[in-house]
Structure 1
């Protein structure tokens, strides 16, 4: 990394970091949500404070909404785009810095699907979508089950474990690695790189965190170059081989897609499984209901997605002047933060929204996977992985309990645990043998 990268961090992260902390000290709710450790641990009290300010609230940082109906409107309205800087006029000095300090393809910059709009978004998404059709997900189900069982077999009976490192992270990394044709021995590399890259989804990162993320992206980029060359020589049956063979995406687009799936998409599932474990251990009456009514497991996963969203927010910007939402005229390029976590607890849609209820009739109406053209491609896969993982874990270890305080990741956008220490208890089959 050169000196211009420090200038790039200063412009894109350092100055916003300074401003956010200053606004937070002055009581700006949205700035507090993005910076204060207590809010990163438990954002929901501040989200409710934001809700009290109206359907569309103005803050020092941006406009924000926690309203379910308004969130759906904004996410599905083609007058709004993503936060891609290239779509708007940016100051010449900043554009010069970006050119002087390029970074490899990654999940949060074009050509990543996460931050581009039609028609380019449609061109990028179309060839990838075939890997996430219901038929394609059904073909993966047996593999998810076998991976889950292998991981549970490896956990010690009557022992301790960190269920993030030893279980929740291992299920999705195994599946996504196979989908991208990566060898099994690369999983630890991607777990490390993904962990270091995902803070880029936030704003106001400190220099060491941003620098570490860019270094990880560089390492992944060099690995991906070698991997793509290998797939061209020896294509496999995986999704990335199919994309390479189709020739619809260039190397930069292929690498951006792979990094998006390995980064943001993978982390979502890790957070979902981890959040689900904690919710069920914290609500033993709900776990007991699942044991009595196992057909509720898929709905329980929807309720975890609703009440403790692994993706807390997203952002949109008007792409034309004069866009009016809820009586407010927004200028072109004005940021609107959509609190997915807030929409998921909107009392106008979800009765008693702070209550965890695995039988909630409309749990699946949550917005955790967004909606509209940017709805998460891997939503069905994440649901299926989490359902198998949670059902099998609690079936195998019926006496599972926390063995210490779970440690949250200090991130605003992605909400999950870094560590989840548990005492596993005896395996169900050993209990049966003894009795």
Structure 2
């Protein structure tokens, strides 16, 4: 046990502790990456920071990486063959990378191979083709009625409630119910999935504290163990859910059957991504609309605007704020040379507020003609496979909530999630007011 703790400490030091220390030093010199990691004000409200970075130029050289909030550059790099995704810690200075490699826990991490988030073709093509063969547009479209039924049932349970934490009782429950049905997760396991997700959510961040790191490792370990058992059970007793179909399809995957580890990583990403980002979308949407009651009046009179309203929520409060790419060769971008193996932070949330693309970019406009041009679902070969489902859940979930509780109002300030890459509300107290009867779907 002591030896394992020492190994964990060394891995934390290589990947997170060293970055925290460097960030505090360079932040005092104005380094944007250092500030992004160490300045709590940036995490609380990234918009002023985004605009400071934008004023520095289209792409900014930081102490360890480059950073851009420019829409065109972000969009281009997401689609470029000259820039690839990479695993956490792979672009550290060589001594730290050496230490990270030798102390890395034997756990499946969302941004370590074989996760789709950290591999490129041909592996990425193989995994994505497998999921796409099952997670089709038609299959997702057929789930819309299920989303509506789930929303109605959850809101029925709130009908006689006054004050409620809407994130706990609705925003988290709707996506985990839907993705649980899709992936064959038993009802009694869904609270555990939410618990694992909450523990592991900071795993996408770099510069974690030691307690945060320990919590993340515990969440990933529990999730890996549960999911491995779940996959074995579905393999023995397959159902008509999409996870069972993924397992069957994995036996005939291009390039040969997926190993258990590959299947575990692929299934885990689909499951976690299927509810994590949608929780944030629903919470942000409810908060933004309660803050702008004039938009609720417009949506009540013109419900055809709901899809655009959801796109605008995604644009302004991107559930995933950041992505990153590493250069595969020396590449000049807007006069700045990015050397091979140097990383670039792609600030999706900043690109979504680029005034060259979005007029009056900080305004919440539910009639914005190009709201759907945001990059919140990434782009190129790593475009989010669950985007259509997230949009459906956002539209149905938000519309149904405000139809059932038109007098809802904030009952407190709420609290933000303590994460940097994922942005959303961890709690949001709402006074619901009188409930209306469910409308026919």
TM-score category (smaller protein): over 0.9
> Contact (CA 8 Å) 2:183, 2:271: kept in 1 or not?
no
Structure-2 residue corresponding to 1:292: 301
Query: Is 1:353 aligned with 2:361?
Result: yes
> Contact (CA 8 Å) 2:199, 2:215: kept in 1 or not?
yes
Tell me, in whole angstroms, the C-alpha distance in 1 between the residues paired with 2:91 and 2:18: 19
For 1:276-355, list aligned pairs within 5 A: 276-320=285-329, 322-355=330-363
Q: TM-score, normalised by structure 2?
A: 0.93
Provide the secondary structure at the position in 2 that maps to 1:52: helix
The Cα of 1:94 is off from its aligned counterpart by: 4.0
Structure 1 pair 77/396, CA: closer, same or farther in 2 (3 Å)? same
Query: Is 1:363 aligned with 2:366?
Result: no
For 1:336-415, list aligned pairs within 5 A: 336-415=344-423
Tell me, in whole angstroms, the C-alpha distance in 1 between the residues paired with 2:359 and 2:225: 50
> Contact (CA 8 Å) 1:4, 1:97: kept in 2 or not?
no
Provide the secondary structure at the position in 2 that maps to 1:111: coil
Tell me, in whole angstroms, the C-alpha distance in 2 between the residues paired with 1:412 and 1:92: 26
Residues paired across the two proteins, number: 429
The Cα of 1:93 is off from its aligned counterpart by: 7.0
Structure 1 pair 69/107, CA: closer, same or farther in 2 (3 Å)? same
- Greater displacement, 86-95 / 67-76: 86-95
> Contact (CA 8 Å) 2:416, 2:427: kept in 1 or not?
yes
Structure 1 pair 59/234, CA: closer, same or farther in 2 (3 Å)? same
Tell me, in whole angstroms, the C-alpha distance in 2 between the residues paired with 1:334 and 1:31: 16
> Contact (CA 8 Å) 1:301, 1:383: kept in 2 or not?
yes
Tell me, in whole angstroms, the C-alpha distance in 1 between the residues paired with 2:399 and 2:227: 34
Structure 2: which 5+ residue stretches go unaligned?
none
> Contact (CA 8 Å) 1:397, 1:427: kept in 2 or not?
yes
Tell me, in whole angstroms, the C-alpha distance in 1 between the residues paired with 2:100 and 2:371: 45
The Cα of 1:245 is off from its aligned counterpart by: 1.6
The Cα of 1:54 is off from its aligned counterpart by: 0.7
> Contact (CA 8 Å) 1:129, 1:377: kept in 2 or not?
yes
Match for residue 29 of structure 2 among 12, 18, 26: 26
The Cα of 1:265 is off from its aligned counterpart by: 4.2
Structure-2 residue corresponding to 1:46: 49
Structure-1 residue corresponding to 2:270: 261
> Contact (CA 8 Å) 1:312, 1:339: kept in 2 or not?
yes
Tell me, in whole angstroms, the C-alpha distance in 1 between the residues paired with 2:134 and 2:246: 10
Deviations 1:59-93 (A, max 9, x none): 22421111111111111101100122697797477
Match for residue 6 of structure 1 among 4, 9, 19: 9
Deviations 1:98-123 (A, max 9, x none): 34443321312110001111111111
Structure-1 residue corresponding to 2:214: 211
Tell me, in whole angstroms, the C-alpha distance in 2 between the residues paired with 1:301 and 1:53: 31
The Cα of 1:258 is off from its aligned counterpart by: 2.5
> Contact (CA 8 Å) 2:314, 2:374: kept in 1 or not?
yes
> Contact (CA 8 Å) 2:166, 2:427: kept in 1 or not?
yes
> Contact (CA 8 Å) 1:103, 1:214: kept in 2 or not?
no
The Cα of 1:412 is off from its aligned counterpart by: 1.2
Tell me, in whole angstroms, the C-alpha distance in 2 between the residues paired with 1:258 and 1:46: 36
Provide the secondary structure at the position in 2 that maps to 1:236: coil
The Cα of 1:225 is off from its aligned counterpart by: 2.2
> Contact (CA 8 Å) 2:227, 2:268: kept in 1 or not?
no
Structure 1 pair 393/209, CA: closer, same or farther in 2 (3 Å)? same
Tell me, in whole angstroms, the C-alpha distance in 1 between the residues paired with 2:283 and 2:88: 33
> Contact (CA 8 Å) 2:326, 2:343: kept in 1 or not?
yes
Query: Is 1:226 aligned with 2:229?
Result: yes
> Contact (CA 8 Å) 2:326, 2:344: kept in 1 or not?
yes
Provide the secondary structure at the position in 2 that maps to 1:69: helix
The Cα of 1:95 is off from its aligned counterpart by: 4.0
> Contact (CA 8 Å) 1:132, 1:381: kept in 2 or not?
no
- Greater displacement, 114-123 / 156-165: 156-165
Match for residue 126 of structure 2 among 123, 134, 150: 123
Provide the secondary structure at the position in 1 that maps to 2:56: coil
Provide the secondary structure at the position in 1 that maps to 2:143: helix
Tell me, in whole angstroms, the C-alpha distance in 2 between the residues paired with 1:23 and 1:44: 21
For 1:157-176, list aligned pairs within 5 A: 157=160, 159-176=162-179
Structure 1 pair 53/92, CA: closer, same or farther in 2 (3 Å)? closer
Structure 1: which 5+ residue stretches go unaligned?
431-435
